[in-house]
Amino acid sequence: MFRHTLKRITVGTLESLRRVFMQEHVFIVVVACVIGYFTGLCAVIFKWMIAGVHTVFLKEFFSRASAGSSLWLLLVPVSVGLGGLIVGLLNHYFNPSREGGGLAEPMKWAAIDQGRVPKHILWFRPIASAFTIGSGGSAGREAPTVQIGAAVGSLVSGFMKASSERRRLLMGCGTAGAIAASFNAPLGGIVFALEVVLGDFNIKVFSPLIFSSVIATVTARQLEGNVPAFDLPSYTLVSTVEIFFFLILGLLAGLVAALFYKTFLDIGDRFKNLKVHPVLLPAVGGVLAGLFGIFYPDALGNGYDGMNKVMNGQMLWHMALLLVFVKILLTGLTLGSNGSGGLYAPSLFIGCMVGGAFGALLNHLFPGSTGSAGSYALVGMGAVMSAVGHMPMTNILMTFELTNSYQIIVPIMVACISSTVTYAFFCKNSVDVEILRRKGINLWHGRESSIMGSLLVRDVMNTEFDTLREDACFRDILAIMAKSKAYYFPCVSAEGRMTGIISVQDIRQFMLDEELADVVVAKDMAAQKVLYLMPDDNLNDALEKFSLRDLDELPVVADPEKNIVVGMLRRKDVITAYKKAVIQATA
């Protein structure tokens, strides 16, 4: 009897669990956790690989130099050049397309390839980037880690035979986990995936991203301990005057970011024109970078040690200022010559040096009204990266998460937004978006704009829609809305001309006031200034107008003078049409 009861309870429990896990949203969350775990594991292993290569290639040289044998530094160019040669060989045999290690590739995989990541990325990218960064090349490990996380998400979705939409989401889960594990910052990872890779803040994607990011962070903490990414100074806002100083810092960061953008791309163009075998190109860039590294070793590699020095007041301001330009040059030499790495850490380094030098100057001029130079270095990091990567939200939230200080919120917001606006005055695109544009891929809000530009409103709009007569009473309006699935209703005159538009939201205030509801007509409730589209507009034009007022639906007018509505276009129909076009283009 007991065994029978126990068996029945066990079977019932297992059946209940099966039903729970068969629910789509629960299943996706479970898969996201798996992706987060393996992404966190890969991120830590990749970090260890870089440390191992650094030990073999460079650590001994610097140890002997610090002991007084400075001649050993003359071997630094050999080390960086040898790392470049290895990467050149890896590119030649295993990466013939020579896709870089930056964020441009994950953005392309999400927008064009619908979450499909080349399988070799999972093993190729950590090896190539470990040799580039570990040997002393000026590049960051964060973007390669994002590529690794994207490959993990793509691999798991391939096993599941997932749809393109789900595959893209799971790839995004990998990128969120990658940033979270890299910086020990789960919130930053979530916002990064939304803002940079997916370009989509749809509420449906939040849960999987949250779980993937958290699990990746926990996994990295279990392997390395709960250690912050940087040795951060304590931050306090000394006076309200500092808000103005942070605004100026943001403007300076935007200018430096624009200089970085132009210098980086220009050096890359020059390397493309060199008559050197592609295998040798990264070695040439490595040797040149290594020559500067003899005199400025803090600018080599990812630069984390140099950033910690500035943030803790262990570097003179004029050296920090000089390293801004040295780092820009070395990053261009390393990555412009097809080295494997990203721009995240170099951008943080450049911002840290700008902020540290600016903070030291303010400490000298206004000693009683400003915080430490390290606090300005911290804000400068986020400001330059916000501009270079067009990711202000990511850097605002990540800086807050890293410092765990509410006082940093206003300064980092002011600096990040002002730097991004300043940068946009000189440069239209982020560096990664510009790299894709030069390859013929035009991204806009995470979508490929050339595909969007080829699709017309007339092909996507809904020609069956409901309208409201402008003299319709409130009860007639309610009757029409009750029978319709639409949310927006054009308000038309007796001649059929559109005189306004009413949404379901617009009538709610009248539903609570019965006396008012008896006297108002449709024209009284309608919004008079209506954004509209024309049938020959493309979907890029449509998305831009949707974004202006955060609308979900727009009327389509054939002739603006007659103002007669011929259709309605919904935002979700635009996205659906785009996805179908991408699938056809990549089939």
pLDDT per residue as tens digits for the range 294-328 = 899 889 988 888 898 988 888 888 999 999 999 99
Strand pairing report for 468-469 and 488-492: parallel
Which one of 387, 416, 440 terminates a domain?
440
Does 466 lie in the same domain as 417?
no
- pLDDT value for 25: 72
Asked if residue 230 is part of any domain, the answer here is no
Domain boundary among 224, 254, 275: 224
Kindly state whether residue 9 falls inside one of the protein's structural domains: no
Pick the closest to residue 174 from 182, 399, 87 (CA basis): 182
Q: Counting every residue, how long is the chain?
A: 587
507 in the same domain as 431: no
pLDDT tens, residue by residue, 156-176: 988 888 777 788 889 999 999
Instruction: Please check whether residue 346 is in contact with residue 140, taking contact to mean a CB–CB distance below 8 angstroms.
Output: yes
Angle of helix 206-224 relative to helix 164-183, nearest 10 degrees, comes to 40
Cα atoms in the Cβ-side hemisphere of radius 13 Å centred on 311 = 25
**Mean pLDDT in residue range 225-250:** 82
Do 548 and 429 fall within a single domain? no
Is 508 among the domain residues? yes
* Same-domain pairing of 285 and 409: yes
Contacts of 266 (CB under 8 A, 6+ apart): 332
What the block records as the tokens of 126 is 């950590």
Residue 1 lies in a domain: no
**What count of other Cβ atoms lies within 10 Å of the Cβ of residue 24?**
8
Same domain, 104 and 177: yes
- Indicate whether 191 and 299 sit together in one domain: no
Is 279 domain-assigned?
yes
C-alpha 376/C-alpha 311 separation (Å) is 8
> The domain that contains 522 carries what CATH number?
3.10.580.10
586, pLDDT greater than 60: no
How many separate domains does the chain show? 3
Residues 134 and 280 in one domain: no
| E strand or H helix that includes residue 557 | strand 553-557
| 481 and 339 both lie in a single domain | no
pLDDT at 145 over 80: yes
Tell which of 224, 253, 276 closes a domain: 224
State how far the Cα of 178 lies from the Cα of 215, in Å rounded to an integer: 11
Considering the domain architecture, whether residues 137 and 203 belong to the same structural domain is answered as: yes
Residues 369 and 436 grouped into a single domain:
yes
d(CA 143, CA 104): 9
Q: Which DSSP symbol is given to 177?
A: H
Question: The whole model's pTM is what?
Answer: 0.79
In a domain, 289, yes or no: yes
Residue 445 has pLDDT above 80, yes or no: no
What is the C-alpha to C-alpha distance for residues 498 and 468, in angstroms, rounded to an integer?
A: 10
**Domain assignment of residue 10, yes or no:** no
CB 132 within 8 A of CB 84: yes
Confidence grade of residue 415 (pLDDT, cut at 50, 70, 90): very high
Does the structure show a pLDDT above 50 at 245? yes
pLDDT of residue 184: 87
Domain range holding 548?
450-586
Degrees (nearest 5) of the Cα angle 420, 425, 426?
A: 105
State CA 199 to chain mean position distance.
8
439/543 Cα distance (integer angstroms): 23
Q: What residue spans of 407-559 are helical by DSSP H? A: 409-426, 431-437, 449-454, 457-460, 474-483, 508-511, 514-517, 522-525, 539-549
pLDDT score recorded for residue 274: 87
Strand 447-448 and strand 443-444: the pairing is: antiparallel
Structure tokens at 241: 């005057």
**pLDDT for residue 66:** 65
Assess whether 282 and 426 both reside in one domain. Answer: yes
Beta bridge partners of 291: none
What mean pLDDT is reported for the chain?
85
342 and 459 share one domain: no
Alpha-carbon span 34 to 215, nearest angstrom:
8
- Domain of 23, CATH number, reads 1.10.3080.10
For residue 186, the SS3 value is helix
Show the DSSP H helices in 95-205 as ranges: 104-111, 121-134, 142-160, 164-183, 186-192
pLDDT tens-digit map of 107-121: 888 887 778 899 899
Number of helices followed by number of strands (H, E) in the chain:
27, 7
Q: What percent of the chain has pLDDT over 70?
A: 89
For residue 78, tell me if it sits in a domain.
Answer: yes
| pLDDT score for 17 | 47
SS (HEC) of 315-382: CCHHHHHHHHHHHHHHHHHHHHCCCCCECHHHHHHHHHHHHHHHHHHHHHHCCCCCCCHHHHHHHHHH
